[in-house]
Chain A
């Protein structure tokens, strides 16, 4: 089955700096890669996703890149703000099996 590795487990950045979180997956059939943000006391919320027919996707300060050959995808957050502090999860699915989540990255943005 699919296995998703996520790094780093914790990340601290200064406000205004960029943050990068990386994930690797094992199943070459995976074709859907969402990223979720979970704030304290809330459920995970989708922030961006990418499909295997696209190499990069951007939404304002957030971007995701996908390298299918290397089986890895990354989340990039630019101009970080204190409200970006949260736990971020990557995930992967082939479409026929449920999402497999990475272990999460706790991002702290220091003002």
Chain B
């Protein structure tokens, strides 16, 4: 079982709905990530939080809004999504190593399978 827990596992939402994806880790990692993965593609980085501050936003549309309430939790708020946003949304975390954020293993959750109708 993964040490990064994501809820819900599956979500179906209409284009006018507002929903949230949740992610939790208790490994003491200070970097947390949201990735989007389409079928037969690699994970695509959306956001990175480092020490609870947003450090990277990969030009993601504003209908996706991340939030990091504390060092163990990461949320992704969804509003007015489009059908093309249907995908697997993966949360990950990592430990800082030698002052660098990105040269440590990423620990992924099993994702939320999102369908926008």
* CB-contact partner of A44 in B97, B102, B103, B108, under 8 A: B108
Complex Cα distance, B82 from A60, in Å, reads 45
Nearest chain A CB to B115 CB, angstrom units: 15
Instruction: Provide the main secondary structure of the chain B interface.
Output: loop
Could you give, for residues 63-95 of chain B, a 1 whenever the CB lies within 8 Å of some chain A CB and a 0 otherwise?
000000000000000000000000000101000
A43 touches B108 (CB 8 A): yes
Number of A-B contacts (CB under 8 A): 62
Q: Which residues of B contact A102 (CB under 8 A)?
A: 42
Asked if B114 is at the interface of the complex by the 8 Å CB criterion, the answer is no
A34 touches B106 (CB 8 A): yes
Q: Which residues of B contact A104 (CB under 8 A)?
A: 40-42
A98 touches B103 (CB 8 A): no
Complex Cα distance, B101 from A104, in Å, reads 24
**What is the chain B residue whose CB lies nearest that of A90?**
B42
Q: Which residues of B contact A36 (CB under 8 A)?
A: 106, 108
Question: How big is chain B's contact interface, by range?
Answer: 20 to 34
A101 touches B102 (CB 8 A): no
Interface size on A, residues (CB 8 A): 24
With A31-B103, A32-B103 given, is the CB distance from A98 to B45 under 8 Å?
Answer: yes
Nearest chain B CB to A32 CB, angstrom units: 4
Complex Cα distance, B98 from A32, in Å, reads 13
Q: Which residues of A contact B32 (CB under 8 A)?
A: none
Asked if B105 is at the interface of the complex by the 8 Å CB criterion, the answer is yes
A97 touches B102 (CB 8 A): yes
A96, A99, A103 interface centre (most CB from chain B within 10 Å): A99
